[in-house]
């Protein structure tokens, strides 16, 4: 970026509301919270990305099961995902982050006008952008959006573990869960507020179910085969045989991915984060191991209030 653009961006960022989060600062742009290094690329992607009709865009807030989907969507879309030969599975050599590039973390992180002309269609992308911030062409073209969300209590616990592991590797003291919880309840966390993020996609998915497939982590855990079948139909890649679905579910399972060499020892080159941190317990209800009754009541109440009348709940 030219130095005058960098100066303009720094000036803009300095004007934005700011809050501390896990030893760094978050900035609020158009109602959502960002780390400064994600902000410029998010702005560039939001204004410059041109979607194609056959693109698939995976969207989510943070720690809601995105990595699972980053494995499943390419496996559904790639013909080798359904073959019997496991040795050709791209997941053996690539962490799911590498199979479906992030608009803000990868594609637009260096250049605000990247050349995407060599990408083979159908292109797969992911983003943590909230619905109102999505590039216009994603909303108006024929491309499909897959959104994944999760009970906010488990999302919060997953975020705590992930962020404290990430900052520990940089020598930063862990952020106490009680402080992180207050911040989450106020909606201050990367890509949040969680509830606004979820509602934006939920409401749009009700209006345009053929455009947005709204998925929940809990449904995936309960019936992975059924959910993967539905997703494959939505993406225009229905399965012919039950064995194919079983293959996709197994290849993308936490148990398998967690134990692959690449995911145990690799490092994300864009974020400098060990790949192993993306795979933890993967259970529904881990919040019960961390929450007091007051925390449960408080977050449940916020969720009930925010989602009131929307038809959306996490009643598990
Ligand atoms: P991201 O936002 O950084 O991409 P994301 O993948 O959305 O993170 O969330 C990580 C959670 O998904 C972790 O949950 P936990 O902390 O409660 O354990 C992680 O374990 C879980 N996860 C990752 N891969 C899978 C998978 N293949 N199946 C089920 N859960 C998974």
Checking if the pLDDT of 316 tops 60, the result is no
Q: At how many degrees (to 10) do helices 293-307 and 194-207 cross?
A: 40
Checking if the pLDDT of 8 tops 90, the result is no
Answer for the pair 263, 95: CB distance below 8 angstroms, yes or no.
Answer: yes
pLDDT, average across residues 69-87 = 92
pLDDT, average across residues 99-104 = 97
Nearest CA to ligand 1 atom 10: 63
Question: How many angstroms separate the alpha carbon of residue 62 from the centre of ligand 1?
Answer: 9
Does ligand 1 have an atom closer than 6 angstroms to the CB of 106?
A: no
Positive/negative CA dihedral, 283, 90, 270, 259: positive
Find all residues with CB under 8 Å of 261, minimum gap 6, and list them: none
Q: What is the DSSP letter of 227?
A: H
Does ligand 1 have an atom closer than 6 angstroms to the CB of 63?
A: yes
Does ligand 1 have an atom closer than 6 angstroms to the CB of 164?
A: no
Q: What is the number of other CB atoms lying within 10 angstroms of the CB of residue 296?
A: 13
Q: Is 95 a catalytic residue?
A: no
pLDDT, average across residues 44-73 = 98
Q: What is the number of other CB atoms lying within 10 angstroms of the CB of residue 121?
A: 9
pLDDT tier, 11 (very low <50, low <70, confident <90, very high otherwise): confident
Cα 81 to Cα 92: distance, rounded to the nearest angstrom:
12
CA-closest candidate to residue 193, choices 61, 23, 13? 61
Residue 1 is predicted with a pLDDT of 58
Checking if the pLDDT of 315 tops 90, the result is no
Cα 90 to Cα 99: distance, rounded to the nearest angstrom:
8
Question: How many angstroms separate the alpha carbon of residue 14 from the centre of ligand 1?
Answer: 33
Does ligand 1 have an atom closer than 6 angstroms to the CB of 66?
A: yes
pLDDT, average across residues 12-20 = 93
Question: How many angstroms separate the alpha carbon of residue 278 from the centre of ligand 1?
Answer: 6
In the set 95, 128, 195, 197, the catalytic residue is 128
| pLDDT digits 0-9 by tens, 214-271 | 999 999 999 999 999 999 999 999 999 999 999 999 999 999 999 999 999 999 999 9
Checking if the pLDDT of 34 tops 70, the result is yes
pLDDT, average across residues 291-315 = 94
Q: Would you say the pTM of this structure is higher than 0.95?
A: yes
pLDDT, average across residues 13-18 = 93
What proportion of the chain, given as a percentage, has pLDDT over 90? Answer: 91
Cα 205 to Cα 218: distance, rounded to the nearest angstrom:
18
Ligand 1 pocket test, candidate residues 35, 278, 289, most atoms within 8 A of CB: 278
Nearest CA to ligand 1 atom 14: 282
Cα 157 to Cα 149: distance, rounded to the nearest angstrom:
14
Neighbouring-strand partners of residue 229: none
Answer for the pair 188, 19: CB distance below 8 angstroms, yes or no.
Answer: yes
Does ligand 1 have an atom closer than 6 angstroms to the CB of 257?
A: yes
Does ligand 1 have an atom closer than 6 angstroms to the CB of 65?
A: yes
Does ligand 1 have an atom closer than 6 angstroms to the CB of 228?
A: no
Residue 2 is predicted with a pLDDT of 61
pLDDT tier, 146 (very low <50, low <70, confident <90, very high otherwise): very high
Cα 200 to Cα 312: distance, rounded to the nearest angstrom:
12
Q: Go through the domains of the chain in sequence order and give each one's CATH number.
A: 15-307 (3.40.50.300)
Does ligand 1 have an atom closer than 6 angstroms to the CB of 254?
A: yes
Answer for the pair 236, 182: CB distance below 8 angstroms, yes or no.
Answer: no
pLDDT tier, 301 (very low <50, low <70, confident <90, very high otherwise): very high
Question: How many angstroms separate the alpha carbon of residue 67 from the centre of ligand 1?
Answer: 6
Cα 148 to Cα 156: distance, rounded to the nearest angstrom:
15
Nearest CA to ligand 1 atom 30: 282
């Amino acid at each position: 970026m030219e130095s005058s653009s960098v100066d303009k961006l720094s000036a803009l960022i300095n004007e934005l509301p700011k809050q501390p989060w896990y030893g760094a600062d978050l900035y609020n742009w158009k109602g959502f919270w960002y780390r400064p290094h994600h902000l410029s690329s998010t702005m560039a992607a939001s204004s410059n990305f041109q979607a194609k009709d056959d693109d698939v865009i995976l969207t989510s807030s943070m720690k809601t099961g995105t990595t699972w989907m980053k494995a499943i969507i390419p496996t559904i879309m790639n013909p080798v995902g359904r073959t019997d030969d496991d040795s050709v599975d791209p997941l053996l050599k690539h962490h799911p982050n590498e199979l479906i590039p992030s608009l803000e973390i990868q594609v637009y992180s260096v250049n605000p006008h990247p050349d995407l002309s060599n990408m083979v269609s159908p292109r797969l992308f992911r983003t943590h952008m909230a619905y109102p911030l999505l590039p216009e062409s994603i909303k108006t073209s024929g491309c499909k959006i897959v959104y994944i969300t999760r009970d906010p209590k488990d999302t919060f616990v997953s975020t705590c573990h992930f962020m404290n592991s990430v900052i520990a590797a940089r020598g930063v003291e862990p952020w106490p869960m009680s402080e992180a919880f207050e911040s989450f309840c106020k909606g201050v966390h990367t890509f949040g507020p969680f509830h606004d993020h979820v509602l934006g996609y939920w409401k749009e998915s009700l209006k345009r179910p053929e455009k947005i497939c709204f998925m929940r982590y809990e449904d995936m855990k309960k019936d992975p085969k059924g959910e993967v079948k539905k997703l494959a139909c939505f993406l225009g890649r229905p399965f012919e045989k039950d064995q194919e679905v079983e293959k996709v579910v197994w290849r993308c399972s936490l148990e398998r991915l967690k134990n692959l060499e690449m995911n145990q020892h690799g490092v994300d080159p864009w974020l400098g984060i060990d790949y192993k941190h993306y795979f933890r317990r993967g259970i529904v209800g881990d919040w019960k191991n961390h929450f007091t009754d007051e925390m449960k009541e408080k977050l449940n109440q916020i969720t009930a209030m925010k989602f009131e009348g929307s038809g959306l709940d996490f009643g598990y």
